[in-house]
Structure 1
Amino acid sequence: MRSHWFVTGALALIIPFAAMAQEDPVQPAPKPVKLMELSSQSRVLQRQFFGQVAAKQTVDLAFQVGGQLLELSAEEGTTMPKGALIAQLDLAGYERAVAQAQLNYDKAQRDAQRLESLRGQAVSAVQVRDAETQLRLAAIALENAQDDLGHATLRAPFDALIARRLIANYQTVTAGTPVVRLHDISELRVDIEVPEVLFRQAGAGDRVAFTAVFPGDPRRFALSMREFETETSSIGQSYTITLAFAENPGAFVFPGASATVYASAEGKAPDGIVLPETALVYGPDGAAFVMVFEGDTVRQTPVEIEMREDGQIYLVDGPSDGTQIVMTGASQLRDGQQARPFTRIGE
């Protein structure tokens, strides 16, 4: 009796396991594959660069004469129209110098007129010429004194944004000492470093379109070419290209701000559809195939290929333009296998 119950219990344990073994196996997850679209049309090439906003020109204003700074009316971050007063030295000494030069000129003029009236009597021609020379020297001294007086005042050379005050008010400065830095923002620009080989396949540079995007702002601003350096940098073989905004990007976009610049160009149309070697699968007889992605599976499709002088493999006969095929790892797939497009690592 005990043996009968043992056999019955063993059968009760074995039957569930047998039933589980007869169930369908778990289907494997679709394999992620990297795809490419067959196309014989011209492609749009796009690159992304770090850019920095720049003014049309930036200058450090400095006095051409020395003295004590008595007025500095440049507030950082404000704009001033062309001709507005920026800074001024103590003018007293320069005004006295002008007055003295004027007196010397007046005296030289009287002496020259008096000697000219006495020419041929008690005054020789040499004395007259000497008096005329003194008059001209006095005129030059007067002009120099007036220039010095004018140079003691700084005015905005253009509609300017005050970037920075470089000295404090009431400070004594020498000639050539920078006083204030100004930006000409009548046209904002952006500088980028471009590799030498950029858009070589795109042909002429006028087919390249540039746009800029600022952090936190989804809008794209059109850019146009202004100038470029004709010498590459010592490191990286890159050129500095200066682009200008077609429209004002708005308030609080100042020189020095960062921007992402996108450059796009339509490349030349290829001579045919180029297939990467990793997209090809070969049968036992040497026939070539590609894995065409259809819905959620891949289908092995025969193709006719040709190796040309440029070393690339061209599609002669096979799927039409717009067909998606597996770009890499095609040899690791089987006909009819489930797959899904690869989007990112870890997915």
Structure 2
Amino acid sequence: MKGFIATATAATIATLLCACTPSDPPVVTLRPVNTVELHYDNVRDANRYFATVASRYAVDQAFRVGGKVLERRIDVGQSVKAGDVLARLDDVDYRLAEEAARKRLDAAQARARQAKSDWQRLQALKRDGSVSASAEEQAHSKLLTARAAAEAEARQLELARNQVHYTVLRAPISGVVTSLRFESGQVVAAGQPVIVIANEGEPEIIVDVPENHLEAFKNARYKASLASAPDEVFDVVLRELSAQAAEQTRTYRARLKPAVPRPLPLGATATLVTERTSEDVTAAVLPAAAITQSEGQPAVWVVKADASESSGTVELSQVVVHGYRSNEVLVSGPPAGTLVVTAGVQKMAPGLRVALPGAAKSFNVSAEVAQ
């Protein structure tokens, strides 16, 4: 019995001793974060605009008289030279009008010749007193009237001839046909635009600028690229900026030409990038996702690294926002070299321990304190 009690007592003491033995320190999992290091530089205000390629010289062609289209000789995309025949109208009515004008001119000229002959006879009769001076003056007046009528009919004939010529539409410049708005057999009105001819030799970049970007746009540097070749960036210079906003869009149209002449496909989609450097303001570029708020002001989560530089704690730091660029934001405030959290800012909390990129994702609390 005594031996059993002694054994039980020893077991109890051993159990109590085991309970007092320190356990292994707990393992805490750190939240991994993506960070960037702040680097300050002069602010470059950059904007991107959707643009198109167009010819500097694009001419709307129209018949100077109306009528039925008898023939069309060109198609969209076809190159033409100055003087080439583009289309013809039915000219039967205009030729009839020309013939009628010629007949009227012949009649007017005959009346003028008769009036001249009558005046010459009256002049001879006036010298021997057979007719009065007033009769001779009336004959002279009729002659002048007949001559004026003949000249007017001559002008009418010339006008009729011109209208016959106007039934043939010719290219005023060399270029490429970019638009057709009529077909053979269609009746068109005088002055109705039917063909657009563009000069391929002088392409331009056309962009519409919002009013709030206007001043910055005027003093910027310009670069452009085509949607078909986004990696081929080329310099352009501002040639023309509209002085008045468009009524519907309230934007100002700008025309820019390549700094070095180069061929560009007309109608192509382009991207125009404007850059302006401010020497007075320095800022750092951060992803827009890094911005949060602190007391209603823009802020970022900054990481204070531990001595091991593998982990650290986060805290809020207010910043000044200088502008936005697509998915980026220009800020200033924290000193250069500060590590800023760039993703998952909504899950951050003051004092939260995080693992820096490339560091272990968990650490031993006791070991961290001992260090």
Shorter-chain TM-score: which interval? 0.5 to 0.7
Instruction: Please name the residue that 1:186 is paired with.
Output: 201
Q: Is 2:81 the partner of 1:81?
A: yes
**For structure 1, which segment, 71-80 or 118-127, has the greater mean C-alpha deviation from structure 2 after superposition?**
118-127
Instruction: Please name the residue that 2:133 is paired with.
Output: none
After superposition, what is the alpha-carbon deviation per residue over 1:42-72, rounded to whole angstroms, capped at 9, x for unaligned? 3222111212333324444322223332221
SS at match of 1:231: coil
1:254 equivalent among 252, 263, 266: 266
1:264 equivalent among 275, 279, 300: 275
Instruction: Please name the residue that 1:128 is paired with.
Output: 143
Q: Is 2:299 the partner of 1:278?
A: yes
Report if aligned partners of 1:36, 1:327 keep a CA contact under 8 Å in 2: no
Instruction: Please name the residue that 1:146 is paired with.
Output: 161
C-alpha displacement at 1:206, in angstroms? 4.1
* C-alpha separation in 2, matches of 1:333 and 1:199: 42
Report if aligned partners of 1:193, 1:238 keep a CA contact under 8 Å in 2: yes
Q: Is 2:65 the partner of 1:65?
A: yes
* C-alpha separation in 2, matches of 1:115 and 1:144: 26
Query: TM-score normalised to the size of structure 2?
Result: 0.62
Letter in 2 for 1:220: V
Measured at CA, do residues 314 and 188 of structure 1 come closer, stay the same or move farther in structure 2, by a change above 3 Å? closer
Measured at CA, do residues 157 and 32 of structure 1 come closer, stay the same or move farther in structure 2, by a change above 3 Å? same
1:166 equivalent among 157, 178, 181: 181
C-alpha displacement at 1:327, in angstroms? 7.6
Report if aligned partners of 2:201, 2:263 keep a CA contact under 8 Å in 1: no
Measured at CA, do residues 186 and 161 of structure 1 come closer, stay the same or move farther in structure 2, by a change above 3 Å? same
Instruction: Please name the residue that 2:190 is paired with.
Output: 175
2:231 equivalent among 213, 218, 234: 218
Measured at CA, do residues 179 and 193 of structure 1 come closer, stay the same or move farther in structure 2, by a change above 3 Å? closer
* C-alpha separation in 2, matches of 1:231 and 1:199: 11
After superposition, what is the alpha-carbon deviation per residue over 1:240-283, rounded to whole angstroms, capped at 9, x for unaligned? 32323443344xx232x32222121222422899xx973698xx
C-alpha displacement at 1:162, in angstroms? 1.7
* C-alpha separation in 1, matches of 2:305 and 2:57: 56
Q: Is 2:53 the partner of 1:32?
A: no
Structure 1: where are the runs of 5+ without partners?
5-14, 282-289, 301-306, 308-312, 342-347
Measured at CA, do residues 216 and 29 of structure 1 come closer, stay the same or move farther in structure 2, by a change above 3 Å? farther
Report if aligned partners of 1:45, 1:265 keep a CA contact under 8 Å in 2: yes
Measured at CA, do residues 335 and 99 of structure 1 come closer, stay the same or move farther in structure 2, by a change above 3 Å? same
After superposition, what is the alpha-carbon deviation per residue over 1:1-30, rounded to whole angstroms, capped at 9, x for unaligned? xxx9xxxxxxxxxx9xx99x7388366354
Instruction: Please name the residue that 1:48 is paired with.
Output: 48
* C-alpha separation in 1, matches of 2:141 and 2:211: 71
Structure 2: where are the runs of 5+ without partners?
1-6, 8-17, 123-135, 285-296, 314-319, 321-330, 359-371
Letter in 1 for 2:262: N
**For structure 1, which segment, 54-63 or 160-169, has the greater mean C-alpha deviation from structure 2 after superposition?**
54-63
* C-alpha separation in 1, matches of 2:191 and 2:213: 42
Letter in 2 for 1:339: L
Measured at CA, do residues 232 and 297 of structure 1 come closer, stay the same or move farther in structure 2, by a change above 3 Å? farther
* C-alpha separation in 1, matches of 2:115 and 2:307: 110
> Which structure's residues are more often helix, by fraction?
2
After superposition, what is the alpha-carbon deviation per residue over 1:80-127, rounded to whole angstroms, capped at 9, x for unaligned? 112211111123433343344334334534543553355353361111
Report if aligned partners of 1:293, 1:326 keep a CA contact under 8 Å in 2: no
Equivalenced residue count is 294
Report if aligned partners of 2:42, 2:283 keep a CA contact under 8 Å in 1: no
After superposition, what is the alpha-carbon deviation per residue over 1:188-238, rounded to whole angstroms, capped at 9, x for unaligned? 2233232323275x5x82443232332454212332223233334567754
SS at match of 1:270: strand
Instruction: Please name the residue that 1:11 is paired with.
Output: none
* C-alpha separation in 2, matches of 1:165 and 1:65: 18
Matches within 5 A, 1:110-129: 110-113=110-113, 115-116=115-116, 118-122=118-122, 124-129=139-144
Measured at CA, do residues 50 and 134 of structure 1 come closer, stay the same or move farther in structure 2, by a change above 3 Å? same
Query: TM-score normalised to the size of structure 1?
Result: 0.66
Report if aligned partners of 2:42, 2:282 keep a CA contact under 8 Å in 1: no
Report if aligned partners of 1:296, 1:340 keep a CA contact under 8 Å in 2: no
Report if aligned partners of 2:310, 2:356 keep a CA contact under 8 Å in 1: yes
Q: Is 2:94 the partner of 1:94?
A: yes
Measured at CA, do residues 119 and 236 of structure 1 come closer, stay the same or move farther in structure 2, by a change above 3 Å? closer
1:156 equivalent among 171, 185, 189: 171
SS at match of 2:224: strand
Report if aligned partners of 2:204, 2:258 keep a CA contact under 8 Å in 1: yes
